Amino acid sequence: MRSHRSARVCRAAIVAAVLLLDPWTGGATAQLPASPHFTLERIADGVYAAIHKTGGSAICNAGIINLGSATIIFDTFLTPAAARDLRAAAETLTSSPIRYVINSHFHNDHIRGNQVFRPGADIISTTGTLAAIATEEPRQLAEEQHEAPQQLADITAALARETDAKKKNDLLTWQAYFRALAESHDSVVTTLPTISVEGRMVLHGSHRTVELIALEKGHTGSDLILYLPNEKIVFTGDIVSAQTHPWLGDGFPETWIADLGQLLAMPVETVVSGHGPVGDIEDISTMIRYIQTTDRLARTALAARKSEKDLASISIPPEYAGWALGRFFAENLRFLYNRAKASTRGK
């Protein structure tokens, strides 16, 4: 998660939530762990989505994939505390050691749990993401040390005044985000990827194979998705957000849409996005429409000679009005407006 010009909880007890028969643990009945930070969803034998829970400090979604001979973690959440729960869940659900951790991109909510998996696991990202973590994390951490406590106080005050249920839910997410930044600052150790990917990498296990596919100039300058071809499952990171406004401000709309088109062309049935519930191929099409619609609104405002301040009068389109993280819409609109404005100056 990323906020425009913004700064950027010990292992939890394993609580039985759902019983399942999982052949990946030798056919024994296993318990699906619970955490205050995320909810686990079994989407195939040995494949789990960890979906952020409102009020927790995961903030993004993550994944647990059992290759049979090794376990993969896809993204590591915002805080070491949430990541420790994720590691505990993986160790409970699988009998395979955690060998690989994937960083989909450089944003803090996807990488700050890295330290929980080192040593022991290799952390894989694109070359661009490795460079971005190395340069951006020190700057963001320094910024957050000074700004996060005040931002937390401001959000908490706004939450106390808010009466709209949807807006309160969004504010609870932001409150958890800034609280996590403020409280985890002293415990975060920037932990860089150890393996970088260019193009595509295939990881083979005794029970399944996964593909890591690099997408350049999408949600960020460099993103990495994880695809399970036999199960037709894709973990997308923030290339896709489901029922949640994406953050466009570090993205490249035209090539992002092309990346999404590449996903549409793949045999995909289940989509685990960076934010929001587990979905399907329609979430990819919806993300394309969101980018196109928001860009069109921004360009129409520019053509009508509206100022940046005038953008505040543009309402969220009805299709996206019920989505989470609604504050991102106005910031996305400003980003696309200024991008379009800059492109016209160059002509």
Domain parsing of the chain, residue ranges: 18-131+189-345
List pLDDT tens digits, range 266-305: 999 999 999 999 999 999 999 999 999 999 999 999 999 9
Cis peptide before 97 (omega within 30 of 0): no
List pLDDT tens digits, range 305-327: 999 999 999 999 999 999 999 99
Residue 12 has pLDDT above 90, yes or no: no
Question: Does domain 18-131+189-345 fall into CATH 3.40.50.2020?
Answer: no
Q: Which tokens go with 213?
A: 């596919």
CA distances from 141 to 73, 98, 134, 249, 292 (A): 24, 27, 12, 19, 33
Question: 19-28, 69-78, 229-238: which has the minimum mean pLDDT?
Answer: 19-28
Sign of CA pseudo-dihedral 239, 242, 248, 249:
negative
Q: Which residue has the tokens 């980018």?
A: 291
Asked if residue 217 lies in contact with residue 253, where contact means CB atoms within 8 angstroms, the answer is no
Strand residues in 156-269 grouped as ranges (E)? 195-197, 200-204, 209-216, 222-228, 233-241
Q: How far is 238 from 282, CA to CA, in rounded Å?
A: 15
List pLDDT tens digits, range 114-151: 999 999 999 999 999 999 999 999 999 999 999 999 99
List pLDDT tens digits, range 86-116: 999 999 999 899 999 999 999 999 999 999 9
Residue 1 has pLDDT above 80, yes or no: no
**Among candidates 107, 110, 332, which has minimal Cα distance to 220?**
107
Q: Look up the pTM and report it.
A: 0.90
